[in-house]
Structure 1
Amino acid sequence: MKGLLLRLSAVDAGAEAAVRVIAYFDALVERGATPAELVRATAALAECPAGLDRPDGEPLRFRPDGSPAGEVAATGSVEIGPGAGRVWLAREGGPGPLDDLVLERLAISARLLAHRHRRTPAPDLADPGLVELVLAEREAPEDRARALRLLGLDGDVPVRALAVSADGDPGAAAVALVTRGRRLRAARVAVIGDRAAMLLQPRESAASVVSDLRAALEEQARERRAAPAVLVGVGSPVRGLEARTSWKQAKLALRFATQDDPIIDHHELGSIALLGELPPERLRVQPDVVALSALPATDLAALEALCRTGSLRKAAALLHLHHSSVADRLAHVENELGWRLDEPQDRFRARFALLARRLSGR
């Protein structure tokens, strides 16, 4: 199959796939996406190059990974409006079954957003600079309050920050993820370094954000038949002017995320979050971390499986090995490190050291 749209159509050739596509573009319009963000998000959704040709500006062309695209042959296009340009997709092998719908919604979204930007001379509601200002350490409260207003965020409604990393464009990955969940009061995103920062204000309880994200990621994994290469850290709900506190928590939580546990809520970490505040270079030289790093990969995998499952037989099942093979590897670990893994204190030490080793690389 050629991409996400084909996979959607395989799930449901009619209403379900169409509703998801429409909801995707509705969310982009609701958050006030810029033309570049709109085209980039469309390319990520369609998993093929997408473009916007404008009579009064440079054409916008992006690949699915968010990088600029060169000249390509369009396999489908739609006019935005009289004299307003056109949008297009360039799919290898010809148009997909949902490409017409995507182009229609892309054209409508481009028209709505263009009208909004012409009507509002104030800074763009999705301006990454405004998001960064809200999250900045040294900006005055009045400047951050003004940025919140310009972003359309309600200062009286709790906001939660997300830190998102992904293969390709983390901003597009963040948008694709949140548009699968319940409708939000507001969602604003900016790419900061190699991560996306997203500010969310749910329509309902802020407590639903993490469960909604996990459900959305599971749904995405089922559609793609593989674990999405997306990791997310979630900060606690805070007042809008304290969004930077939630952002710090989200960045810290992201350090704990793995492909096996890709969405981490800072609140759920509890006291373990303190370990994430230590700099990686300090963790790397900790004697237990150094000792673990010297173990063979097979022994390390056995130890991680034991600490994750809590029993030898479950660890063997997780690794698809006979329990005697796992027992031999764990015996080698005990000999090398001087631990007794059947003792609660040493088992806790092993789990703590494994976590410290993971964080030392981030």
Structure 2
Amino acid sequence: MKGLLLRLSALDADAATAVRVIAHFEALLGGGLDPVSLTRSTAGLAGCAAGLELPDGRAARFGPDGAALLGGPEQVSGRVDLEPSGRVWLERPGAPGPFDELVLEWMAITARVLAGRPRQNRVPRAADPALVELVLSGREDAADRTRALRLLGLTPEGPLRVVAVAGGPETNVGMEAVTLLGRGALRDTVRVARVGSLGAVLVQGGGGPDGRSTASPAAELRAALRERLGDRGPVRKPAHGIRTGVGGATDPLDARASWSQARSALRFAVAGGTPEEAVADHDELGPVTLLTDIPVERLRAQADVRRLGNLASEELLVALSAFCRTGSLRQAAGELHLHHSSVAARLARVEKELGWRLRDPQDRFRAQLALYALRLASDGDDE
């Protein structure tokens, strides 16, 4: 950690701060933990009063100076609810601080350990963007890329995957990548840096029996995103705009290939969608990725894509996407947290306006292909 802090000038400052926040709570998880130490430590880290109530009735509340506070919270600036009951919160006068959301998320994660839920993961590390860009470059020679890999704490021998993270205009993708990967169940070595407008994440080995796992982190990323969205209490707004593309496993010296795949997969990811749609895996997409070779103008001009884009309601597209992906009305309804009759009504509107019969496998395939093409066509607006 000390070595990391000495190099902050070379890092995305927000991502580096995110690493420090996560490392702070990981250190608490590694030591003797109790409600008092967690709450007092969080208050000192955040620089404002913090409180905790666990499902078993244990509670604590401390000020930033470490003094215990009596009574209930005075001015809650942010909170995360715990299941089946309980909560953690911060009390900051005025608007929440820029890292309050991250602090609350990790305070909640640590509180779950206190409540008896295990937590296993490694802290992702913010990396020097220049080294990451060198690893992802196709112009530098192998010796320079090998040296960059070793300086990042990676090996040029084991397989490596690259993940691309994008967000909305007000999103710091470096911090979001660190946050998302930090709360996932990844057992791999993870390095994060901002490359242009994207967060670039290098993931290598450690999850398999031989320490050289090539398994995709897509499932862990979706689970982390689902947990994160589920944590958000009524005081906090849901996350919007975060989407992730996962590249295939490659030789580390050919990491640019996985980076290219990750950015292609990212074009299929849906901003603000369900975790299944917000994380797109190049390996899962298979031959569908060939659509990225078609010019955006041709995609937009295709009749099905044009009619799908003219649908009046985003809710119709969401319902159609969930049904095409699951092939089940009830599964789609469960994923969207809607009654199946509501989803059925929306699909009926889609069928009426586009002339499809979605129970027909051929029409459902046609709809899924049009959805993919629409995402690519829409993504072209941001390029």
**Structure 1 residue 328: deviation in Å?**
5.0
Does 1:272 find its partner at 2:272?
no
| Structure 1 unaligned spans of 5+ | 1-25, 48-73, 78-89, 103-124
* TM-score (norm. length: structure 1): 0.61
Report the Cα distance in structure 1 between the residues aligned to 2:203 and 2:349, rounded to whole angstroms: 45
- CA distance in structure 2 between the aligned counterparts of 1:45 and 1:38, rounded to whole angstroms: 11
SS of 1:197's equivalent in the other structure is strand
1:329 maps to 2:349 = yes
Alignment partner, residue 190 of structure 1: 193
Aligned to 2:217: 209
Residues in 2 aligned to 1:286 and 1:219: alpha-carbon distance in whole angstroms: 38
Amino acid at match of 2:158: V
After superposition, give the CA deviation of every residue in 1:297-350 in whole Å (9 maximum; x if it has no partner). Answer: 2665564454345356776785655578446524522xxx45444433223212
Query: Any residues of structure 2 matched to 1:201-240 within 5 Å, and which?
Result: 201-204=204-207, 205-207=213-215, 209-225=217-233, 228-229=239-240, 230-240=242-252
Q: 1:93 — aligned with what?
A: 93
Aligned Cα root-mean-square deviation (Å): 4.0
In structure 2, how many angstroms separate the alpha carbons of the residues matched to 1:305 and 1:185? 30
SS in 2 for 1:256: coil
What fraction of aligned residue pairs are identical, expressed as a percent?
Answer: 45
Q: Deviations over 1:196-223 (max 9, x none)?
A: 1111223232316333333322332232
- Partner residue, 1:361: 378
TM-score (norm 2): 0.58
Match of 2:365? 348
Residues 139 and 342 (structure 1), Cα distance of their counterparts in 2 relative to 1, 3 Å cut = same
1:263 counterpart = 2:279: yes
Matched residue SS, 1:188: strand
| Aligned counterpart in structure 1 of residue 8 of structure 2, from 22, 30, 34 | 34
Identify if the C-alpha distance between structure 1 residues 130 and 283 changes in structure 2 by more than 3 Å, giving closer, same or farther.
same
Task: Encode CA deviations 1:257-287: one digit per residue, 9 max, x unaligned.
Answer: 2221222221111222222343433311222
Aligned mates of 2:327, 2:243 — CA distance in 1? 25
Counterpart Cα distance in 2 of 1:127 and 1:306: 42
Matched positions, count: 271
Whether the aligned pair in 2 keeps the contact of 1:31 and 1:188 (CA below 8 Å) is no
Is the 8 Å Cα contact of residues 131 and 152 (structure 2) preserved in structure 1?
A: yes
Counterpart Cα distance in 1 of 2:256 and 2:6: 22
Match of 2:115 in 1: none
SS at 2:217's partner residue? helix
Q: 1:307 to 1:211 in 2, by over 3 A?
A: closer
Larger radius of gyration between Structure 1 and Structure 2: 1
Matched, 1:290 2:291: no
Residue identity in the other structure for 2:349: R
SS state at 1:137 partner: coil
Q: Distance between the aligned counterparts of 1:339 and 1:185, measured in 2? A: 44
C-alpha displacement of 1:91? 7.9
